[in-house]
Amino acid sequence: MTVTPSTLYQLLQSFFGNLDWWPVDSTYHSYHHTDPRFEILIGTILTQNTTWKNVEKALDNLKQAHALSIYQIQKLSHDQLTQLIKPSGFFNQKATRLQQLTNYLITRYQGDLNKLFSGDMIQRRLELLSLHGIGPETADSMLLYAGDIPIFVIDAYTKRMCHRLTITVSNDSYDEIQHRFQQDLNHHYPSDQLVCIYRQLHALIVECAKQFCRPKPLCSTCPLSTVCEYPCLK
Ligand code: SF4
For 106, the enclosing helix (H) or strand (E) is helix 91-109
Q: Kindly give the confidence (pLDDT) of every residue in the chain, 234 residues in length, as a single tens digit, with 9 standing for 90 and above.
A: 678 999 999 999 999 999 989 999 999 999 999 999 999 999 999 999 999 999 999 999 999 999 999 999 999 999 999 999 999 999 999 999 999 999 999 999 999 999 999 989 999 999 999 999 999 999 999 999 999 999 999 999 999 999 999 887 778 899 999 999 999 999 999 999 999 999 999 999 999 999 999 999 999 999 999 999 887 655
**CA separation, residue 81 to residues 43, 64, 77, 193 (Å):** 14, 13, 6, 37
Q: Is 165 in the pocket of ligand 1 (CB under 6 A)?
A: yes
Q: Measured in Å, how far apart are the chain's first and last C-alpha atoms?
A: 13
Q: How far apart are CA 182 and CA 187, in angstroms?
A: 8
Cβ-based neighbours of 218, under 8 Å, separated by 6 or more: 211, 212
The amino acid sitting at 62 is L
Substitution candidate for ligand 1 out of 12, 15, 225 with most atoms within 8 A of CB: 225
What does the pLDDT read at residue 116?
96
- As annotated, the residues of the chain forming the CATH 1.10.340.30 domain(s) are 26-146
CB of 81 shorter than 6 A to ligand 1: no
- Is the CATH code 1.10.1670.10 the one for domain 5-20+152-233? yes
- Of 158, 161, 166, 212, the one to substitute when testing ligand 1's pocket (max ligand atoms within 8 A of C-beta) is 212
Whole-structure pTM over 0.75, yes or no? yes
Tell me how far apart the alpha carbons of residues 199 and 89 are, in angstroms, rounded to a whole number.
25
* Pocket test residue of 3, 226, 228 for ligand 1, highest count of atoms within 8 A of CB: 228
Which part of the chain is CATH 1.10.1670.10? 5-20+152-233
Query: 26-146, what's its fold?
Result: Endonuclease III; domain 1 (1.10.340)
- Ligand 1 pocket, residue 209 CB under 6 Å: no
